[in-house]
Amino acid sequence: MNTTPSKILIADDLGAEGLDILREAADVTVQTGMDEDTLRATLPGYDALVVRSATKVTARSLELADRLSVIGRAGIGVDNIDVAAATERGIVVMNTPESGATTTGELAIALLVSMARNIPAADQALKAGRWDKNKFTGVELTGKVLGVLGMGRIGRVVADRGKGLAMEVLAHDPFVAQRDAPEGIRMVELDELLELSDFVTIHVPGGPETKGMFGRDAFAKMKPGSRLIHAARGGIVDEAALIEALESGHLAAAALDVFEQEPLPEDHKLRSMSNVVLTPHIGASSAEAKRSVSLDMARQIALCMTKGVVLNGVNVPRIAPSEAGAIGPYLNLAHDLAVLLASMHPDERLQSLRVTLQGGLTSNAPKPLTVAALAGALMPHAERPVTPVNAERIAEELGIRVHTESLTIKRDFRNLIRIEAVFDEKRHFVTGTVLGHKHGRVIEIDDYLIDAIPEAPLLVTFHKDEPGVLGKIATTLGDLGENIERMQLGNPPSEGTSALGIWNLDRPLEPQHLAKLEQLDVVDRIFQVA
């Protein structure tokens, strides 16, 4: 068994409390301020990487990452991570979408109020010795229309605060229907939102789909004299088009926390415009948010490293933190059952996989459980690393059919997972459950009934059903210096067939030791699950 401790590289400031959590789970190295070349040279040997917004994780920086299995983004946006490159290498990318939502939403409201009342300019004038009272006439917010683009966590915070300011709130989000919107929020099409809103605030994800979303066409559709708030991700707003709209007077003002290029160049036109409020990407910069994002990311990384459970995965089926306790043990079980089944058919081609879920697992469970099982089924046969990140793509490339179904309770266990696989036209299955919300058990292997722990390393033996056989196998293991942690027996399903043994060991067997056991005359077939 590999006892080498996991290694985690912290590339941006995480906070002392978060580091303490991670140090309990792995060896932690903090090295901030790395450019692409330094990160590329540093990553070999590390199992996990944690970043915030400063470190850029490019495809090139990942080329030498020989052990990296997870990248944690302490925050919401992942535009500083090449997710496609990470996915290609089977590396999980996770973020903390809930940690900074309140703080970022409150900043958008602060920008709105500051812009409406010209607070930054008035502050600068007064500190410069001027009393320009008549120069800073603003507008009231009561009764004005606030258009919220994007009704994710941050957008909902902004919409709620907007209602509290006695504003009429419109929202647009192609993934949110009116029935799913918060009370008092009217969902409209984007063009209608732009035409009717006195203030438009942007809260959509960054990326290719939204790059340049706000350009000349969008600004032309906005209500004359309206104002823009942008605290999402740089690149969503075409800054040249924004400057044109501001200079022409079509937009009265704008307030921005994020930019196409950060830091914002010193000679950038936006810096000199009196009707623009600028902040240096401080959306998540509150004491509460920094602590929350640090703790959340540390807990997620630690859970992933110790239990294999991925929360808030960006490139894997998402599991929310609130579901971790219920789904987590079944993820491990689905993976272990599939590895066990595939390891028993090492020379046969996997053609299809069916995952059947029975009982009271949450409605969000089928997808992550199926992917976990698929990754486990592919692992013993794959010529490249297989993780939940790339398992579906590899299965598609190999032409493996995958199916999932859920059933009501029909048996004695509250929740069951049954994994059926077809190897070279022959169907085989394993069934398992979780006891006490944490202990995985395999209870069926084909026609054998058993109660065993399916966690590797273990041996599966099909052996003679006669006195002294178990002792002979155990004695041989002892003579080879191998320790048996647990052994469970499955009786023959019919007369004249082999008995089944599941032997949990404390380390994988060396090939020569496995060969010794294969030579025993009482052993019909033997398989190792390492």
The contacts of residue 305 (CB under 8 Å, 6+ apart) are 6, 8, 25, 26, 47, 48, 70
Q: Phi and psi (nearest 5°) for 318?
A: -75, 135
Mean pLDDT of 318-343: 85
Percent of the chain with pLDDT over 90: 74
pLDDT tens, residue by residue, 440-464: 999 999 999 999 999 889 999 999 9
Q: Check residue 1 and give its pLDDT.
A: 39
Taking each helix axis as running N to C, give the angle between helix 469-479 and helix 511-518, from 0 to 180 degrees, rounded to the nearest 10. Answer: 150
- Reply yes or no on whether the pLDDT at 250 is more than 50: yes
- Reply yes or no on whether the pLDDT at 329 is more than 90: no
Buried b / exposed e along 45-55 (16+ C-beta atoms within 10 A)? ebbbbbbbbeb
Please list the residues that pair with 523 across neighbouring strands. 463
- Reply yes or no on whether the pLDDT at 212 is more than 90: yes
Measured CA distances, 164 to 106, 157, 158, 227, 353 (Å): 12, 11, 10, 19, 52
111 and 136 share one domain: yes
Residue 64 lies inside a defined structural domain of this protein: yes
Report the CATH number that the domain containing residue 8 is assigned in CATH: 3.40.50.720
Q: Check residue 322 and give its pLDDT.
A: 72
- Is beta strand 276-278 parallel, antiparallel or unpaired with respect to 251-256? parallel
141 and 62 share one domain: no
| Nearest one of 419, 409, 396 to 336, comparing CA atoms | 419
Q: Residue 361's CB: how many other CB atoms inside 10 A? A: 20
Q: Residue 495's CB: how many other CB atoms inside 10 A? A: 6
CB 479 within 8 A of CB 519: no
Q: Of all helices (H) and strands (E), which one includes residue 405?
A: strand 401-407
Counting the structural domains of the chain, the total is 2
173 and 271 share one domain: yes
**Residue 526 identity:** I
Q: Check residue 490 and give its pLDDT.
A: 92
- DSSP letter assigned to residue 482: P
118 and 251 share one domain: yes
Residue 63 belongs to domain spanning: 1-99+285-315
Mean pLDDT of 251-266: 96
Q: Residue 248's CB: how many other CB atoms inside 10 A? A: 10
The contacts of residue 254 (CB under 8 Å, 6+ apart) are 115, 227, 228, 229, 230, 242, 246, 275, 276, 277
167 and 267 share one domain: yes
Residue 310 lies inside a defined structural domain of this protein: yes
Q: Check residue 2 and give its pLDDT.
A: 44
- Reply yes or no on whether the pLDDT at 292 is more than 60: yes
Residue 460 lies inside a defined structural domain of this protein: no
Residue 207 lies inside a defined structural domain of this protein: yes
Residue 436 lies inside a defined structural domain of this protein: no
Query: Can you read off the two tokens belonging to residue 102?
Result: 């309140």
Which range has the worst mean pLDDT, 222-226, 272-276, 376-380?
A: 376-380
Q: Check residue 4 and give its pLDDT.
A: 65
Mean pLDDT of 54-72: 95
Mean pLDDT of 107-112: 98
Mean pLDDT of 274-292: 92
Query: Can you read off the two tokens belonging to residue 204?
Result: 């959509």
95 and 191 share one domain: no
Which range has the worst mean pLDDT, 154-158, 255-259, 293-297, 306-310?
A: 306-310
289 and 257 share one domain: no
Residues belonging to the active site: 233, 262, 281
Q: Check residue 103 and give its pLDDT.
A: 94
pLDDT tens, residue by residue, 335-381: 999 999 999 999 999 999 999 988 767 667 888 899 999 999 998 87
CB 202 within 8 A of CB 232: yes
139 and 244 share one domain: yes
- Reply yes or no on whether the pLDDT at 410 is more than 60: no
CB 374 within 8 A of CB 404: no
CA distance 331 to 324: 10
- Of the residues 249, 278, 307, the one at which a domain ends: 278
Residue 151 lies inside a defined structural domain of this protein: yes
Q: Check residue 79 and give its pLDDT.
A: 86
- DSSP letter assigned to residue 349: -
CA distance 476 to 481: 9
- DSSP letter assigned to residue 99: T
Residue 344 lies inside a defined structural domain of this protein: no
Q: How many residues does the chain have?
A: 530
Please list the residues that pair with 7 across neighbouring strands. 27
Residue 392 lies inside a defined structural domain of this protein: no
310 and 255 share one domain: no
Residue 85 CA, chain-centre distance (Å), reads 15
217 and 304 share one domain: no
298 and 264 share one domain: no
pTM passes above 0.85: no
Start-to-end Cα distance in the chain: 8
pLDDT tens, residue by residue, 65-106: 999 999 999 988 888 999 999 988 889 999 998 888 899 999
Mean pLDDT of 257-266: 95
272 and 134 share one domain: yes
Which range has the worst mean pLDDT, 212-221, 298-307, 402-411, 476-485?
A: 402-411
**Mean of pLDDT over the chain:** 92
Q: Check residue 40 and give its pLDDT.
A: 97
